[in-house]
Amino acid sequence: MRKLILISAFSVLMLGGVKAQTIDGQWTDGFVFYTVEKTADDYHFDGFLGEDRSFTISKTAANKFVIKKESDEEYYSLGKNGYTVKYMTLTDSYGKKSEILASYDSKNQMFYAIEKDRTSNDNFFAAGITEMFEGILGQGTFEPFSDEYSSTNSVTIRMSGKVYVLKTTSDGITLYNSQKNDLAYEPTTVFKTFKYTDSGQGWWPQTSKIVLNVSILKLFDAKQLRLMRNEIYARHGWQFQSEDLKKHFSKFPWYKSLGNNASVKLSLLEQYNINLIKALEK
């Protein structure tokens, strides 16, 4: 059973030169999945669970669309009335291309983002979690799976035939033994803890290599997200002004401040990840 997609009215602005047909298909943030179908000049977004949570966007200008029906709920929303959404493609360090719909508020700050799903629903979720944590838990040793009834700040994984609940901490992750309570797996006693270790590129080197999504970032609190976001800058020699960030990154032997932030060059993927992390910090 999938969660509902609840989206309020916003306008959609596609980047120049990109065919609008690319928004057809299934999209997700790793938690919520919904389909988009083209009907004449309109695009129909369809929810799940048998309830009428659908809406339509209509073309009003070249590559610009407006939602014709809005929901009262905004928890899984791409934005509010007047928010814009841009289509973009990103290629990660492994050559995988991702299609993104990212929404922006009136100040052009990223609000939320979803990605076109090219896999089955569970595989999309599992792939992102595996890419993020395999360096800590060990490649190929665990299988994450989507449990839509559990908390968004934890993830259930199957390892050696047992189900554990994974939660992040300020300096690592903790695996809890679990028990099934009604529809969700809930943590009980601590099974094992894993401290973050420096890979030579920081605690989260994958943030400069893969396209992040909401289902991954929801596992971290605002303090962790801030460190994660600034670690991307640190890898490029960013000179930090905050004392806590200076202290934190001085622990890594690879960190060397360039002394001139204007010379720091981020990749498009890194800039996207930074903007999405910052949006979720709020």
Kindly report, residue by residue over 86-138, the tens digit of the pLDDT.
Answer: 788 999 999 999 998 888 887 989 988 888 887 655 577 888 888 888 888 87
Residues 277 and 204: beta-carbon distance below 8 Å? no
Give dist(CA 157, CA 85) in Å, integer. 33
Residue in 236, 239, 220 with CA at minimum distance from that of residue 278 = 220
Same domain (yes/no): 105, 154: no
Q: Which residue has the tokens 């968004």?
A: 152
Q: Are residues 173 and 129 in the same domain?
A: yes
Q: Is 80 helix (H, G, I), strand (E, B) or coil?
A: coil
State the chain's mean pLDDT as an integer: 80
Name the percent of the chain lying above pLDDT 90. 43
- Torsion angle (degrees, nearest 10) of CA 83, 274, 211, 94: 140
Give me the number of domains the chain comprises. 3
Asked if 245 and 157 sit in the same domain, the reply is no
Residues 6+ apart with CB under 8 A from 191: 164, 175, 176, 177
- Name which of 56-60, 83-87, 126-130, 246-250 the model is least confident about: 56-60
Q: Which domain holds residue 38?
A: 11-116
- Give yes or no: residues 86 and 148 share one domain: no
15-30 pLDDT per residue, tens: 433 444 467 888 888 7
Helices and strands (H, E) in the chain, number of each type: 5, 14
Among residues 97, 116, 135, which one ends one of the domains? 116
